[in-house]
């Protein structure tokens, strides 16, 4: 299949004297590394996306078991960064920010990774905390909600489901976060630890659900009450891929997925179906990136357990996510970011 994010997706390039700042945002997670090049106008809040690109590098391969980044995973990630650097050469980029999340936080040899990124891009990557990751995710997911037809009602819960961790963030309809927490449950982590079967057995699924539920049980201690949500927003590749399945898309179509409103029951049914498939069956799905085929079942189980703790009848899916939040963070004074 042709993956729409396997190569840079460039939009019509504005003239160099256009209003705004051209920024490059990197999000390096457990399973993927992403690049967003955008022109941002802080005065109007307008974002002109120039390039959105992704590589499946599985940087977090084996980290949960060994506590270290695998040399082959580091090499795959550096190769992707080299490709991104070539793409960036065609744009008048003023600012860059590289954020590394769960896998790099957990690895004992993270310094090796940080040094390699700095050598290639000339900037020091930031291994962001779980709290900042949650804030960036919420900001990226909710900035575009004003264009959704109908009233967006708060409190809003954003579910950012990654490879190594899942962020649950509560805020209002104006972009203000009231509570958030990062849990060490992600599609790669749960798959590697608990779902070895192909397809996973009923016993494996039950144990994985128990572990996920135990993590979710800790949320009230951090002031995160997802049951109070009036709007539930899902972001990141696992959830957007599940949305493609719900919509029965023949291929991954970002425009059809962005701001799709899906019934809760259809999402839960799809999660159950994906979890019960073999890897080979998943790879035959035209919308699913091969790099997600082994872990999408674990991600589906996490989303299932989260949604069952809300009473909302719908899930709103956004293609705008932490990457957009990272981009907009570069329009803020550096001292404001440092105080977050």
Model confidence at 3: pLDDT above 50: no
* CA atoms of 184 and 167, how far apart (whole Å): 9
Beta bridge partners of 115: none
**Percentage of the chain modeled with pLDDT above 90:** 59
pLDDT in tens, 302-324: 999 999 999 899 999 999 888 99
- Chain centre distance of CA 10: 20
pLDDT of the residue at 46? 86
Q: What is the pTM (predicted TM-score) of this model? A: 0.81
CA trace torsion 8, 14, 20, 23 (10° rounding): 20
pLDDT of the residue at 175? 75
* CA atoms of 270 and 268, how far apart (whole Å): 5
Give the contacts of 312 (CB within 8 A, at least 6 positions apart): 229, 230, 231, 232, 264
pLDDT in tens, 100-157: 865 666 678 888 888 999 999 999 888 777 778 778 888 888 887 763 444 578 899 9
Alpha-carbon distance values, 159 to 36, 142, 193, 224, 305 (Å): 20, 11, 22, 12, 12
Q: How many CB atoms lie within 10 A of CB 284?
A: 12
Q: Distance between terminal CA atoms of the chain?
A: 42
pLDDT of the residue at 103? 62
Alpha-carbon distance values, 250 to 2, 135, 241, 245, 270 (Å): 11, 34, 12, 9, 15
Q: What domains lie within the chain, and their CATH numbers? A: 9-131 (3.30.420.40), 135-317 (3.30.420.150)
Model confidence at 72: pLDDT above 60: yes
pLDDT of the residue at 238? 94
More confidently predicted of 58 and 298 = 298
For residues 26 and 102, the answer to whether their CB atoms sit within 8 Å is no
Give the contacts of 252 (CB within 8 A, at least 6 positions apart): 3, 4, 5, 241, 244, 286, 287, 288, 289
Q: How many CB atoms lie within 10 A of CB 52?
A: 21
């Amino acid at each position: 299949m042709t993956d729409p994010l396997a190569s840079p997706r460039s939009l019509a390039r504005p003239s160099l004297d256009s209003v705004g700042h051209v920024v490059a945002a990197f999000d390096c997670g457990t399973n993927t590394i992403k690049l967003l090049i955008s022109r941002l106008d802080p005065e109007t809040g307008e974002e002109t996306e120039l390039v959105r690109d992704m590589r499946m590098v599985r940087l977090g391969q084996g980290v949960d078991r060994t506590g270290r980044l695998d040399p082959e995973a580091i090499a795959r990630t550096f190769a992707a960064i080299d490709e991104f650097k070539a793409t960036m050469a065609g744009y008048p980029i003023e600012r860059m920010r590289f954020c590394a999340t769960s896998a790099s936080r957990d690895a004992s040899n993270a310094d090796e990774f940080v040094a390699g990124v700095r050598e290639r891009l000339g900037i020091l990557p930031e291994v962001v905390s779980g709290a900042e990751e949650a804030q960036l995710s919420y900001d990226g997911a909710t900035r575009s909600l004003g264009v959704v037809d109908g009233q967006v009602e708060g409190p809003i819960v954003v579910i950012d489901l990654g490879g190594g961790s899942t962020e649950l963030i509560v805020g209002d309809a104006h972009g203000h976060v009231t509570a958030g927490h990062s849990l060490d449950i992600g599609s790669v982590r749960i798959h590697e630890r608990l779902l070895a079967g192909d397809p996973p057995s009923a016993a494996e699924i039950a144990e994985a659900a128990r572990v996920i539920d135990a993590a979710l049980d800790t949320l009230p201690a951090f002031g995160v009450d997802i049951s109070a949500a009036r709007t539930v927003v899902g972001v990141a590749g696992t959830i957007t891929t599940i949305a493609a399945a719900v919509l029965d898309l023949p291929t991954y179509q970002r425009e059809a997925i962005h701001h799709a409103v899906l019934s809760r029951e259809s999402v839960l049914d799809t999660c159950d179906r994906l979890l019960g498939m073999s890897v080979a069956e998943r790879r035959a799905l035209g919308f699913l990136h091969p790099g997600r085929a082994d872990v999408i079942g674990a991600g589906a189980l996490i989303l299932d357990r989260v949604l069952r703790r809300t009473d909302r009848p719908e899930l709103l899916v956004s293609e705008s996510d932490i990457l957009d939040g990272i981009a907009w963070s570069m329009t803020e004074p550096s001292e404001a970011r440092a105080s977050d």
